[in-house]
Every structure is written in C-alpha cells, then in structure tokens.
Structure 1
Amino acid sequence: MSKIPEGSELDEMDRALLRLLQADGTLSSSALAERLSLTVTPCWRRRKRLEDLGVIRDYQANLDRRKLGFGVLAFAQIGFGVHAGDDPDNFEKTILALPEVLSCHKVTGSADYVLTILAADLESYGRFVENVLRRQPGLATIQSSLALREIKAETRVPV
C-alpha cells in the first residue's frame, strides 16, 4: 500500500476522526460531528475523503472468537524448499480463500510466511494442517505455535 498522496496530509482533526472510528465504527456522521465539534457536512466530507484516499479501508465488528467456538489460535511458520516458480504464488492464492486464516505475512528470517489461524480445537487444527497446509506444493516446513493466553490483540493503528 502506498502512502497518502502529497498534499493530502492528515491534520489533527483527521486523526481525531480516525481514532473515534477505530474505537466505534458505527458512529454516524452526526455523532462524529458532535464529538469533533464540527457540523455534519464538513465531518462527512472528511470521512469520505479518508475513505477515498484508502486510509479507511472498511468497517467491521470485532468478534469474540471463543464465544463463537474458536478455542485455538495458532501461528504457523511456513517454509518453501524452492522459492522460484509458481508454488509460492499459488500458496498465496490458496491462503486468500481460507476463512480460518486470519492473516498471512511474507516475512524475513527462517520462515517464508507466518499465518494466524483459528480452529475450534487442537483436533480441528491438526486436520487443517494435514488436509490443507501439508498438501500445498513446494512446502518444505511447517512449524506451529499455539497461543496459551492472549495478552493483547489489537487492530487499531496509532494515529
């Protein structure tokens, strides 16, 4: 993702608006305007501008995974034997379609990718590893780590 185009820098009002929306994405333009001491139209314009610039990508609700039956949060480090060819690209395409994979990052170091994966329990995570990850062409290593306790899980960007 590229930076904000020159001449489109964020001012403190934009940053305040972003902090409010990260805390509560359901805020209406009138509620935002009231909290920012603006009128509704300028507030809506700021919000729309931030959306158009891609600073605001989307809106979502943050769900409690445990209450929805996902008791296991796993981190899988994936390594490929050969980095050339189509295998890594095909792997990325496959991962994009898997709802259990919350995030996938191409990284430096001993692994090529780090995935964050949800599963109902250890048995279902094991099935995911066997039936999905191990069947990916070119994959050489999978190293899993399981979250024992979640200390911080934040999606908010400091603005």
Structure 2
Amino acid sequence: MKYFNIFLLLMVFPLISGASAHKFYVSITKIEYVKEKNSLQIITKIFTDDIEDVLQQRYDTSISLDTKKETEAADKDLKQYLLQKINIKVNGKAVKLNYLGKEYDTDMMVAYIEVEDVKAIKSIEIENKVLMEMFDEQQNIIHLKTPTTRRSLILDKDEPRGILKFN
C-alpha cells in the first residue's frame, strides 16, 4: 500500500504542477469616444512580465518594469513599442496616438493613450499587434464605447486588425 501511494503521488504530481503552469496571453484595451472632448481615450492593460519580456528581447535585456531598477529609458522603450504595435484609423484616416503614461496595478501594466480631434466616428479600424511577435497564442481584446454603442473585437496573430462600422 505504501508503494502504491508513492507511485500514485509520483504520477499525479506532474499533472497538478503542469496544470498551474498554463498561461494566458491576453491584453485588454478599452477605447472610449468622449464626444465632449472630441477624443478617443485608450487604456490598455498588459501583464507586466509579458511586456517586460518583449521589451527585453527587442531593446535591452536589462529592462525591468515595476521595480526600483526601472529607468526612464524603459518607459521610452515602452512608449515606442506601444505606438508601433497599436494603430488606429478613424473614418478611414490614420490618427496620431499620444502616449500619456503608465502605471501598475497588481501584475498588470496599464498604459494611457489619447487620440485628439475626433469629431465623429463612422468607422474605426484598430490594429493591435502587442506581444504577437513573442507569443503565438496572444489575444488582444478591444472594447469600444461610444455615447450610444458598445462593441468588442478579439484580435490575434491571424487577424491583428478589425473594423467596426457605425451608422
């Protein structure tokens, strides 16, 4: 009986430990059209360890986010990365994204971006390739809110771009 329990433990332990090692590769981006300000206000949430990994691979292996070792250069690299990977067209025209800054919330990096001078939205095309070069399973979920509508997109490596049309 003792050997059976040890055998059972040896067989079950790898299954239990492997189950907890599975990781989700996802970011969530909320875009809100604020008509009074003629702006798109964008909040994107990405797991800090994932964005840190991609910045280390792309720019500098010593990059450290959400630690005392974080540098201004890391924030500059983060800004550059996000503005390369997120692109938006409003009514068929590319718009300029203004990176406002970031903060940390538990294990997430929260970045704030704004698009100014948006008078009306007939259509919006969103491309979000954040982390897709590093994680094949990456999904970037987009939630768009206007004064009258709520819509969502799920973007992945096969479809990193989506279009939402409004009447």
Please confirm whether the aligned pair reaches a TM-score higher than 0.5, indicating the same fold.
no
Which has the larger strand fraction? 2
Which has the larger helix fraction? 1
